[in-house]
Chain A
């Protein structure tokens, strides 16, 4: 396991050297990360598809808000059903909150009945920093042509209270719906809220 980690780390690091800061309306920075099952995924693998990036930390109360309520899984199921690739990324570095071994990740993901395409491990934080991910959750939408279309919070009520979900406007589903209808995304950025990413 340890032996395996090293080349992956190296790969991520070398990729990170070429990564640029993400900007809405511009090409999203490319990356290659291993998922919790040991499979590699590159952003370029999903050209021609909408890609959602979701920053996660299972122990963060704001992540819990959206997973315990089933809100996040509902979104994942709805949009992966519409051929959207949903990549959940954890940038918690080793020793910090939210950094788990793959077995633990898979256990928690199945306990939550998560419906993401893959749970990617960014335990150097390089991809998170390239995207300027600040909080968990912090959401990004990338168009089939590789352009970053949305960056920001999951919705417009910053709180850790599940009761607020029903009252909130979900920016991710709103933007995805607008994109799929061929419209311009109305809210392209919003203030992400949540715990800080544990770099």
Chain B
């Protein structure tokens, strides 16, 4: 009952008093709205100019682009009050033939922070504003409107107006971040600039980044910014306008990423204000760079033989060599050469495919597959089955393994060739983390250089075998075949399992724990399937049994894959991510009583004030709070994490927020006995910020 009257009160309050009248002008509906229901002296609060444009019409950002005009607000404030500049959510690029503008279609909230004085004498204050804008479809019309907003003055912490809570929260999420973990630098050339953006490690794939300058007269606003993925990171090239007004020494503007700057589904805009660095000596990378890349490619190729995915094949090949040791020298050399050509041709095919794909307009890095959860799942399942095969759970007559094994034991030319092909195919997934640099370099080079690098990679990989076939005498240093080979084979399964764990970790970074669980379920089904196959599907069973076993095995294998891929989508957090699924941290539900208990017991507390509708909160939880080092320190320091979920406005949480002078989420608070004051963390978190703060606990 109390809640109901409160709601009614709030409703009347918000619709009649707190919101200025909605003003309807040509093509635009506008009003001035307040985030809070009252003003507390000395406590800044936020107002928004809400502009709702008719369909296809737009108003402009702070830089309107080639044409247009930024929206302006002129404030008439009570004495002692000050207003900030407009905090602009990031705009969209609107093309008009060959011109481009930056603006907003649909509805936009332009935020302004109002700071009241420490002492306010009136019981109610009035804020007046005059906004002017240009609204355009193709044709433009200037518009303006005046607003007046009355707010009561109270000493208590102001409460937010529920009606606009989501709008303010969403708009804040769309304000450019001031910094990120990315390394960004920009170089200036005669005809334009280049922006290099290096993501932190294991960052999900970015498909599009665009730069929106703060000044509309320096760059060609409509020009394609030539977004590319290179070996260094992501790059943009932006041409100068022919009539550029000034020669800038600093890059000023915002970068818009399709997935965000703090991981997938995070804030999409990032402010960049960075001086241009001197033109880097690209020439070095072009001449000596190629030689260096070729050397690295060769060494990398040798190292490939030690990769977990290749090791099993390596063992097979070693076995092959052991058997060949008694053969004619010339024949052994021939084996080696044919094997090398098999490796070479496979790498050329790969390079050719990549060059063709790149020519098709897709900029691909070698590791591009690892950024797709579907690929990760398929790869993990295959590697896991491979491991089970090595462990001896099942045997398959036509598996890659046996192709390699059989062909090398057959010692025919085709067999050697196929061993080379097999080794390459099996090695492919493992190269990404180790060979990224050289291959990244290869990808941005002309096709010829790409082929050259791939060739050296292939030669490096084949070189130990070629060497052994040239000097077969060295083979005598190789151990004699025997029972140890079976043991080695089984042992080789473990590096594969380790690789699966690594892949699961990469998948976890992209999809959270749900994706990993889906993967594990797929592994379970697939391994169960092959066990059935190994037990009943092989030829020493009767035909019907064999058939049924095989059908079940295939069904479980494919079913597991489909299940895992359907339940895993890249960068998509499950809806109920908020409170239940945060892996690692054992949240307790917040209550004032629990907090008081813990504080009087002297137990340190970390409180996360959050809400499902607060996108910033979600991103913070994902990229900062749930990171391994935060989880670790929370456990080390015996901190009790409390989650205050404000999704449906809870009175107790509202009061707790107010006790910190806040009326919105996110809010992060740390209590500890040795701290006289609770630590309040910033609204945009990194794991480093949390760890640093938690370190202060004794």
Contact = CB atoms under 8 A, between A and B. Distances in A.
Interface string B191-222: 00000000000000000000000011100000
Contacts of A132: 241-243
Nearest to A61: B142
User: B-side binding surface: helix, strand, loop or mixed?
Assistant: loop
Interface string B134-145: 101011111000
A193 B98 contact: no
A135 B134 CA distance: 14
A96 B138 contact: yes
Interface residues of B, number: 25
B66 A134 contact: yes
A198 interface: yes
B245 A190 contact: yes
Given A23-B242, A152-B245, A193-B69, A61 B134 contact: yes
A60 interface: yes
Contact of B96 (A24, A59, A191, A196): A196
A191 B243 CA distance: 8
Nearest to B72: A159
Size class of the A contact interface (CB-based, 8 Å): 20 to 34
Interface in A1-40: 21-24
Contacts of A135: 66-67
B632 interface: no
A197 interface: yes
Contacts of A159: 69
Contact of B136 (A24, A192, A193, A195): A195
Interface string A160-199: 1100000000000000000000000000011111111111
Contact of A24 (B69, B140, B243): B243
User: A-side binding surface: helix, strand, loop or mixed?
Assistant: loop
A49 interface: no
Contacts of A199: 96-99
Nearest to B215: A191
B303 to A, nearest CB: 52
Contact of A191 (B98, B139, B217): B217
Given A23-B242, A191-B245, A199-B98, A134 B67 contact: yes
B68 interface: yes
B242 A134 contact: no
Nearest to A153: B217
Which of A151, A159, A191, A194 has the most chain B CB within a 10 Å cutoff? A191
Interface in B62-101: 66-69, 96-99, 101
B134 A189 contact: no
A71 to B, nearest CB: 16
Contacts of B242: 21-23, 132
Contact of B141 (A61, A96, A191, A193): A61
B66 A196 contact: yes
Contact of A196 (B99, B141, B217): B99
A59 B136 CA distance: 13
25 contacts: A59-B139, A61-B141, A96-B138, A132-B243, A134-B66, A134-B99, A135-B66, A158-B69, A160-B69, A160-B142, A161-B132, A189-B243, A189-B244, A189-B245, A190-B245, A193-B69, A194-B67, A195-B68, A196-B68, A196-B97, A196-B99, A196-B101, A196-B140, A197-B99, A199-B96
Interface of B: 66-69, 96-99, 101, 132, 134, 136, 138-142, 215-217, 241-245
The 7 closest A-B pairs by CB, nearest first: A191-B217, A196-B67, A160-B142, A199-B97, A134-B66, A189-B243, A195-B140
Given A134-B67, A196-B67, A199-B98, 17 more contacts: A21-B242, A23-B243, A24-B243, A61-B142, A62-B140, A96-B138, A97-B139, A134-B99, A152-B217, A159-B69, A160-B69, A160-B134, A161-B142, A189-B217, A191-B216, A191-B217, A192-B217
